[in-house]
């Protein structure tokens, strides 16, 4: 069965050995160097539960920047970090693929261009990227969601490429996905609210089902491809091992990208696709 058939049937693909171990290690080292150079002036906490708090200006203006977001449990009540800064960051987002040369090369390989085309993206554009640390002991869970909630196009074209830079296991908070769940339709959209900040626009009030989710335990170097409508989540990391991952989301340039989407970029930095070979 082809990648396209598998993808349209179950809403995700698991492709082990897609990225060489050395490329994973290089990306990890680069992310760690970025964190080492980061001096926190704005403390932004990433949480999937308490969205209004995280939708501050630092978050809303990160579409064309490299920004750092802390774990929810990183701070003591007095506001100081519980552990080293390098072990307290939840993720870096959202334009690593355009602003950092190493991330740019990793995100725009000929293999990924071929895969995007196999999956039916006619004019693939790289919309956003995230480096996710899933820190030992404090790596927070990510509740079940659909990526198209946050990265909406008309028609829906969002596809996620999620790379395991370390082994992802049940213990350290691997992804879980609902096979075939992408056929359920979009439940809600995360939009910029008229008076500032953000809001969820409910399109279908029935909740995403939790039954039937399967764990995607994958070795380092695997690529997991996620349909924009696929319900997926990840568990908390209570283990002593981190679960570093890198994800980049693509949309089709032929689709409409609404003005009220949360992610905006400066006109000086338009979305780019893959290099023409």
Give the integer Cα–Cα distance in Å for 124 and 271: 10
Give the integer Cα–Cα distance in Å for 108 and 133: 21
Are β-strands 159-164 and 142-145 bridged in parallel, bridged antiparallel, or unpaired? unpaired
Residues 10-65 pLDDT 10s = 999 999 999 999 999 999 999 999 999 988 765 656 555 554 444 478 788 889 99
Length of the chain, please? 277
Q: Which two tokens stand for residue 104?
A: 């740019």
Residues 111-143 pLDDT 10s = 999 999 999 999 999 999 999 998 887 777 889
The pLDDT assigned to 100 comes to 97
Rg (CA), the chain: 18
Largest CA distance in the chain: 55
Q: Which of 47-61, 72-86, 148-162, 196-210 is predicted least confidently?
A: 47-61
Task: Summarize the confidence of residues 176-190 as an average pLDDT.
Answer: 97
Q: Which two tokens stand for residue 207?
A: 């909740």
pLDDT score of 243 more than 50: yes
Average pLDDT, the chain: 91
pTM, 2 dp:
0.92
């Amino acid at each position: 069965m082809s990648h396209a058939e598998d993808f349209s049937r179950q809403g995700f693909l698991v492709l082990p050995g897609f990225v060489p171990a050395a490329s994973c290690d290089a990306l990890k080292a680069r992310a760690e160097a970025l964190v080492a150079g980061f001096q926190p002036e704005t403390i932004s906490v990433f949480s999937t539960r308490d969205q209004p708090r995280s939708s501050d200006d630092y978050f809303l203006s990160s579409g064309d920047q490299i920004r750092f977001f802390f774990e929810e449990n990183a701070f003591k009540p007095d506001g100081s970090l519980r552990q080293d800064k390098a072990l307290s960051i939840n993720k870096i987002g959202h334009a690593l693929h355009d602003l950092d040369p190493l991330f740019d090369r990793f995100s725009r390989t000929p293999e990924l261009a071929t895969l995007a085309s196999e999956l039916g993206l006619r004019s693939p554009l790289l919309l956003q990227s995230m480096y996710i640390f899933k820190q030992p002991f404090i790596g927070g869970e990510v509740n079940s969601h659909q990526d198209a909630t946050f990265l909406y196009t008309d028609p829906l074209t969002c596809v996620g490429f999620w790379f395991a830079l370390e082994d992802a296991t049940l213990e350290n908070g691997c992804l879980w996905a609902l096979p075939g769940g992408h056929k359920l339709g979009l439940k809600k959209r995360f939009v910029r609210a008229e008076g500032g900040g953000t809001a969820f626009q409910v399109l279908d009030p029935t909740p995403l089902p939790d039954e039937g989710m399967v764990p995607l335990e994958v070795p380092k170097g695997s690529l997991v491809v996620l349909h924009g409508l696929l319900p997926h989540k990840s568990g908390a990391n209570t283990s002593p091992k981190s679960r570093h991952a890198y994800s980049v989301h693509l949309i089709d340039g032929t689709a409409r990208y609404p003005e009220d989407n949360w992610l905006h970029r400066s006109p000086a930095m338009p979305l780019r696709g893959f290099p023409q070979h």
